[in-house]
């Protein structure tokens, strides 16, 4: 599996330390990232999962793809105002993260990776 599950502790270390810097977004990652906020009971989330695995494999050395289970990590879900799943958070190395909702097609995801994360 190329995607990685994120707990709050891992989020604080690998993405952003919102506890010590609550008013400032400072990305801590070494590569741009996608975070998939999902639920195990969500049909569209299940459809999106293999597509994200393919994206993670295709861009393995260029981006990180994380997954956050909204039922297990309620604080992270609340922090980003997640109201529906799946919700994807695209995090470039510089600038603000961007959100997208729904099970996006692979071509749309690939375009977002190139344009938002890799500036291609």
Q: Which positions are annotated as active-site residues?
A: 42, 45
The answer to whether the CB of 90 falls within 8 A of the CB of 112 is yes
Between the CA of residue 52 and those of 13, 25, 33, 47, 68, what are the distances in Å? 22, 25, 12, 9, 13
Distance CA 31, CA 22 (A): 22
Count H helices, E strands: the chain? 4, 5
Looking at residue 31, the DSSP 8-state letter turns out to be: S
């Amino acid at each position: 599996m190329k995607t990685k599950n994120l707990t709050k502790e891992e989020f604080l270390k690998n993405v952003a330390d919102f506890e010590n810097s609550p008013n400032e977004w400072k990305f801590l990652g070494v590569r741009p990232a996608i975070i998939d906020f999902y639920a195990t009971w969500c049909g569209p989330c299940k459809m999106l999962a293999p597509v994200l695995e393919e994206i993670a494999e295709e861009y393995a050395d260029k981006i990180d793809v994380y997954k956050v289970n909204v039922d297990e990590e309620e604080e992270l879900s609340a922090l980003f105002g997640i109201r529906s799943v799946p919700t994807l958070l695209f995090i470039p190395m510089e600038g603000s993260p961007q959100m997208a909702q729904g099970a996006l097609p692979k071509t749309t995801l690939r375009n977002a990776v190139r344009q938002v994360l890799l500036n291609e």
